[in-house]
Amino acid sequence: MVSAAGGGRVLADQDVCVGAGQCARVAPGVFDQADDGLVVLLVRDVPAGEVDAVLDAVDRCPSGAVRLGAPAGGPY
């Protein structure tokens, strides 16, 4: 289970990303964009303090390219 206190592992699919940039705007410590606009992950394991921002990015991403799974060592 992912919670604001527990961190998690972020996944981003460049094949799905449409370069809208919402993720990098709301969670700039986790997401960046390449020159072509596609999402780039800055970290895989999200610090607990960034979880809310990543969940916001997941909600805002128009293509469903980003998601947050279980922390490292979990099933993802």
Q: Which residues contribute to the site for ligand SF4 (CB under 6 A)? A: 12, 17-23, 31, 33, 39, 61-63, 65-66
Nearer to ligand SF4, 39 or 54 (CB): 39
Closest CA to 67 of 29, 33, 39: 39
Nearer to ligand SF4, 60 or 71 (CB): 60
From first CA to last CA, the distance across the chain in angstroms is: 12
Nearer to ligand SF4, 5 or 30 (CB): 30
Residues 6 or more apart in contact with residue 75 via CB below 8 angstroms: 69
